[in-house]
Amino acid sequence: MTCECAGIERKKADCERVEGANNLINVFGFFDRGDDFADCIEYFTISALFSFVFLLCFFAAVHETSEDDPRISNYIQILIREIEATQTHFDQHPPLQTIFFGGGTPSLVPPRLVAKVLETLRSKFGLCLDAEISMEMDPGTFDAKKLKELMGLGVNRVSLGVQAFQEELLKACGRAHGLEEVHEAIEIVGSCGVENWSMDLISSLPNQTQEMWEESLRLTIEAKPTHVSVYDLQIEKDTKFGSLYTPGEFPLPSDTQSAKFYRMASRKLAEANYNHYEVSSYSKNGFECKHNYTYWINKPFYAFGLGSASYINGTRYSRPKKLKDYTTYVQNLEGGLVDIQEDDVDEGEMAMDIVMLSLRTSKGLELKSFREDFGSAVAVELCKVYEPYMKSGHVAFLDYRRREITEDEFSSLVLDDEKLENEIGFIRLSDPDGFLLSNELISLAFGVMDP
Partner 1 sequence: MSYFNRASKAIQVANRIYRFSLNHHYNLGLPYFASNEHGFCSNSRNSNRRDDNNVIDLSQYPTDKIRNFSIIAHVDHGKSTLADRLLELTGTIKRGHGQPQYLDKLQVERERGITVKAQTATMFYNYELEDSNTSYLLNLVDTPGHVDFSYEVSRSLAACQGALLVVDAAQGVQAQTVANFYLAFESNLAIIPVINKIDQPTADPDRVKAQLKSMFDLDTSDVLLTSAKTGQGLEHVLPAVIERIPPPPGKSDSNLRMFLLDSYYDEYKGVICHVAVVDGCLRKGDKITSAATSQSYEVLDVGIMHPELRPTGFLLTGQVGYMVSGMRSTKEARVGDTLFHSRTTVEPLPGFKPAKHMVFSGLYPADGSDFEGLNHAIERLTCNDASVSVARESSTALGLGFRCGFLGLLHMDVFHQRLEQEYGTHIISTVPTVPYIFEYSDGSKVEVQNPAAFTANPKIRVVASWEPTVLATIIIPSEYVGAVINLCSERRGEQIEYSFIDTQRAFMKYRLPLREIVVDFYNELKSITSGYASFDYEDSEYVASDVVKLDILLNGQPVDAMATIVHKLKAQRVGRELVEKLKKYIDRQMFEITIQAAIDSKVIARETISAMRKNVLAKCYGGDVTRKKKLLEKQKEGKKRMKRVGSVDIPQEAFHAILKVS
Residues forming contacts to partner 1 in the complex (CB under 8 A) are 12, 14, 33-34, 38-39, 42-43, 230-234, 255-256, 258-259, 262, 279-280, 292, 295-296, 301, 303, 307-311, 316, 318, 349, 352-353, 356-357, 360, 388-389, 392, 394, 435-444, 446-447, 450-451
Exposed e or buried b for every residue in 281-305, given b needs 16+ CB within 10 A?
Answer: bbbbeebbbbbbbbbbebebbbbbb
Q: Work out how close the CB of 67 gets to partner 1 at its nearest, in angstroms, rounded to a whole number.
A: 29
Helix (H) or strand (E) holding 91: none
Peptide bond into 251 cis (omega under 30): yes
Give the phi and the psi of residue 380 in degrees, each rounded to 5.
-65, -40
Q: Work out how close the CB of 311 gets to partner 1 at its nearest, in angstroms, rounded to a whole number.
A: 7
What single DSSP character describes residue 321?
S
Q: Residue 85 or residue 309: which is nearer to partner 1 going by CB?
A: 309
Q: Residue 376 or residue 438: which is nearer to partner 1 going by CB?
A: 438
Q: Work out how close the CB of 349 gets to partner 1 at its nearest, in angstroms, rounded to a whole number.
A: 8
What is the Cα–Cα distance from 273 to 270, expressed in whole angstroms? 5
Q: Residue 268 or residue 394: which is nearer to partner 1 going by CB?
A: 394
Question: Residue 199 pairs with which residues in a beta bridge?
Answer: 160, 228
Q: Work out how close the CB of 386 gets to partner 1 at its nearest, in angstroms, rounded to a whole number.
A: 11
Q: Work out how close the CB of 275 gets to partner 1 at its nearest, in angstroms, rounded to a whole number.
A: 18
Q: Residue 160 or residue 188: which is nearer to partner 1 going by CB?
A: 160
What is the Cα–Cα distance from 209 to 203, expressed in whole angstroms? 10
At 99, the amino acid letter reads I
Q: Work out how close the CB of 438 gets to partner 1 at its nearest, in angstroms, rounded to a whole number.
A: 5
Q: Work out how close the CB of 403 gets to partner 1 at its nearest, in angstroms, rounded to a whole number.
A: 25
Query: Smallest Cα–Cα separation from 281: which of 100, 435, 441, 437?
Result: 435
Please answer whether residues 200 and 160 qualify as being in contact, where contact means their C-beta atoms are separated by less than 8 angstroms.
Answer: yes
At 313, the amino acid letter reads N
Q: Residue 194 or residue 265: which is nearer to partner 1 going by CB?
A: 265
Q: Work out how close the CB of 308 gets to partner 1 at its nearest, in angstroms, rounded to a whole number.
A: 7
Q: Residue 42 or residue 423: which is nearer to partner 1 going by CB?
A: 42
Q: Work out how close the CB of 250 gets to partner 1 at its nearest, in angstroms, rounded to a whole number.
A: 16
Looking only at the bridges linking them, the beta strands covering 395-398 and 426-429 are: antiparallel
Peptide bond into 432 cis (omega under 30): yes
- Burial of residue 3 (CB within 10 Å: 0-12, 13-18, 19+) is middle
In whole angstroms, how far apart are CA 79 and each of 60, 84, 152, 276? 21, 9, 22, 35
Q: Residue 139 or residue 300: which is nearer to partner 1 going by CB?
A: 300
Q: Residue 73 or residue 298: which is nearer to partner 1 going by CB?
A: 298
Q: Work out how close the CB of 180 gets to partner 1 at its nearest, in angstroms, rounded to a whole number.
A: 27
Please answer whether residues 409 and 244 qualify as being in contact, where contact means their C-beta atoms are separated by less than 8 angstroms.
Answer: no
Q: Residue 159 or residue 192: which is nearer to partner 1 going by CB?
A: 159
Q: Residue 116 or residue 299: which is nearer to partner 1 going by CB?
A: 299
What single DSSP character describes residue 313?
T
Angle, CA of 309, 314 and 320, to the nearest 5°: 25
Looking only at the bridges linking them, the beta strands covering 365-366 and 315-318 are: unpaired
User: For the packed helices 367-374 and 376-385, what is the interaxial angle rounded to 10 degrees?
Assistant: 130
What is the Cα–Cα distance from 443 to 163, expressed in whole angstroms? 29
